[in-house]
Amino acid sequence: MSGTLFPNAAFWGERLQIAREFKGLTQKELAGEVSASPSLISLCEKGEKPFPASDLVEAFGEVLGFEPLFFYGPLTDMFREEECSFRHRRSTPERLKAKIRAHATLTGMVISRLRSIFRFPDQNIPRIPAHTDAEIEAAAEECRRHWNLSLDSPIKHVGRILEHAGVVIVPHLVREDVDAFSRFGPTAVIFLNQAIKSTSRWHFDIGHECGHLVMHQGVPTGTEETEDAANRFASAFLLPRKAFTREFCTDEFDWKHILAMKRRWQTSAQAIVRRAYDLRLLGAVEYRKAFKYMSWKGWTSGGEPDEPAFQEPELLTNALGALGKKVALTIEALCKELYFKPETFREITTIAVPKSHSMPAVIPFSH
Amino acid sequence: MDINNFLPWNSYSPLTAERLSIVADKLRKARNDTLNLYDPIGGDTPWSHGCRAHVRQIKAVLDGAKEYDWLTILPDEEALRFTFAIGGVPIRFYRGTPAEIPEHHLYRTFAEIRQLQLVLIPEARKTAKVLRMAIELDAEGNASEISLVELDVSGKPLNTYSIPQAVTKSNVTPAQTQAIELPPLQPEPLENTQSDAQKQTQVKKKNA
């Protein structure tokens, strides 16, 4: 075995854990890949092996897609389980959630670096705990007031509202069983599923995650109660009750009216029908009939008509796009600074790192 | 049959006088316009004229569906059978008087049954009645009277409402607020991180 890479710098176990989880490997699987024992991997991750052999660290890098230097130095902003909320199916395995958290932590590193060179909006998320339906309605309305949004008007680009409030929206989830994910912390983020190419669904997902950020700061989520609360918040935030009731009742309940409301409020027909039911504008029988109809038409499986134009989140994309143009730092240099391998950077941000001849294949060991 | 006191909107809230009048006017106009094209010397017969008038009336309602949100066309397995809906309430039309309903119009079609299963208007769904628009012609063939006829499930006429012509349309549109739209965020560099090229451009601008 060779010596340690940096005799004076500590190997940071959490970085190994993040890289491993991002790759979707268990400790045992990683141990097999690098020909080490699972207990050694465990010791490294717990920080009980601060100076692992250099060849082992290099092997970690090769298997996990990072430069060896990535594993050194403190991890300042790890996305911890208690800070994160998932909008997912009940069957979603813990391993997948860990992978998404790791992805988010790595994205957080990119965002932190971008924040040090670009002016990002300050984080401005109100904290309004709410439990009952009445409290949730009031929380959603208070949130609108906090951001100076009229209670009478639809929101055309919900993502922008959150981005102006300092929440970075990342459309990079790829798994179909997780719709969205959010984290409240020094870097507040909402992850959206890029496979869902429906603006109205994204709007609701953003509203749902916004509900977690506003109502559940420091509260463990994932229970039926917190998910229902976030759904109710999303409905109330996107479709404020007074304006919704007024417009819903201007005409008989037929589908043309619902789709006209969808075009105006930029939410799905399903969300509108559910809102009408929650506000008792529709009875349970009508609500069930309506869902049966939507299911029959294939709307509940993603084929709703009159979808609003697709709205990509902009803050992160624009900041990455400005690298090398508005600032000297380029994508390649950012990738190098963070010690991500180009393919890993691409996997994290979906942005390809241009090939550069100046980029060494191996980071020199001397420092 | 109650001819005088039947007001459709009391039983079927979407069937307002204004909407019924709009649809009846379209049917009437299409029928009368077709009459102007009637050319017996050229070979038209009452049968061919009837067919032409019927398809032109269908076309008029189809056009109306593009104009009015509340007017929809129900899909039907039978190519020539035509059913429309006002605010989700299914209706078919025929030529004849309210008392002389063609046999094939006496019963509900599958399109109507399906619509009533899906429609969200409780009173319309609960009712077991059938609605038809009867288009009566005068001696010359002009549409003289159009009525809404309510039948029971056995095809017996129960109520008739004579649809007045050209009920004034309401011009009141509910006030709607503008949607909220914030500008996109274009992150600007912090002072000390601008690229050299950008700094040079700024200096040049200043000097200019």
DSSP string covering A167-200: -EEEEEE--TTEEEEEE-SSS-EEEEETT---HH
Q: Please, are residues B121 and B12 in contact by the beta-carbon 8 Å criterion?
A: yes
Taking CB atoms and an 8 Å cut-off, how many pairs form between chains A and B? 123
Residues with Cβ within 8 Å of B48's Cβ and at least 6 positions away in sequence, in order, are none
Contacts of B183 in chain A (CB under 8 A): 160
Q: Answer yes or no: is pLDDT of B197 > 50.
A: yes
Residues with Cβ within 8 Å of A162's Cβ and at least 6 positions away in sequence, in order, are A169, A190, A206, A210
Cα A345 from chain centroid (whole Å): 17
Across the interface, of A153, A285, A289, the residue whose CB is closest to B177 is A153
What's the pTM?
Answer: 0.67
DSSP β-bridge partners for residue A53: A4
Across the interface, of A149, A325, A327, the residue whose CB is closest to B193 is A327
What is the pLDDT, as a whole number, of residue A367? 46
Q: Please, are residues B147 and B20 in contact by the beta-carbon 8 Å criterion?
A: no
Closest-CA distance of chain A to residue B101, Å: 29
CB contact under 8 A, B122 and A283: yes
What is the pLDDT, as a whole number, of residue B180? 92
Q: Answer yes or no: is pLDDT of B2 > 50.
A: no
What is the pLDDT, as a whole number, of residue A334? 95
Across the interface, of B70, B177, B187, the residue whose CB is closest to A118 is B187
Most A CBs within 10 Å: which of B19, B114, B116, B120, as the mutation test of the A interface? B120
Average pLDDT for runs of 10 along chain A of length 367: 62 95 95 95 91 93 96 88 76 82 93 94 95 94 95 93 94 72 89 82 93 92 90 96 82 81 94 91 85 88 84 90 93 95 92 70 51
Token pair for B89: 């309430």
Closest CA to A126 of A87, A165, A169, A72: A165
Candidate from A92-106, A352-366, B95-109, B127-141 with smallest mean pLDDT: A352-366
What is the pLDDT, as a whole number, of residue A1? 45
Mean pLDDT confidence for B111-124: 65
What is the pLDDT, as a whole number, of residue B28? 93
What is the pLDDT, as a whole number, of residue A180? 83
CB contact under 8 A, B14 and A282: no
